Amino acid sequence: MTSGAPNANWCKITFMVRPWRRRADRFALIGNHGCLDFVNTEGVQKGQRVDFLAEFPDLVAWLSAAQLLGPAETDEAIRRWSGTPAGARALVEARKLRASLRQMLEQTARGRPIAASTVETINALLARPLGHGELVRNRDGFVRRVRFGLRAPVDLLVPVAEAASDFLCHATFFLVRKCENPPCLRYFYDLSKNRGRRWCSMTVCGNRMKVAAYHRRAQRRRRP
């Protein structure tokens, strides 16, 4: 056996055991905050509104991608609740929470007070007893997350509520931006040095807006 063979097999086995990794890789975590990244699980592709939380395993895979859920808990949640009515109900609740958080971002952008219903939704989730916090090493340093008891799939929304409460308590609202590409639905927290970030992604929306501006200028030049 060559020295490379065990690693190759290990990778193959890991991929087979954890097919949700492919789902997790589809999420663009460009928001610089878990709350915004969760809202960004609804987007636009080719002019059509797309829900990236199409089914229960997508929700679990997003939590894993956002480092809010460990690999073993991700495996367990998918094994226990995929294709079950309880999993489907949790997905419905996740979409309701997301709509509520999107409304919250729209309200903060307009300088309006946050709706009491949004705070109630977040508090109802924070009231659920969970497990305990733990510090986990990742390639950037450390991340703090909750180790769940995983009693019910709706518990999976608690870390999202934690992210939302962190946002409301600590975020500087004027740094929250919606992508300037009008059809794009994505929000981000502008951590750029000059606070001049305009697009969710330079390669997607940034390029699109620049190409559109170029065509507008070219049209103006052609006019007699």
Which residues bind to Zn ion, rule: CB under 5 A? 179, 181, 184, 186, 200, 205
- C-alpha dihedral (46, 192, 176, 99), degrees to nearest 10: 40
Nearer to Zn ion, 26 or 151 (CB): 26
Question: Torsions phi, psi of 91, nearest 5?
Answer: -65, -40
CA distance 86 to 83: 9
Element (H, E) at 24: helix 20-25
CA distance 190 to 199: 10
Element (H, E) at 102: helix 85-109
CA distance 14 to 8: 10
Nearer to Zn ion, 78 or 200 (CB): 200
CA distance 11 to 224: 63
CA distance 95 to 98: 5
The residue among 127, 103, 131, 133 whose CA lies nearest residue 115 is: 103
At a CB cut-off of 8 Å and minimum separation 6, what does 164 contact?
35, 38, 97, 101, 104, 122
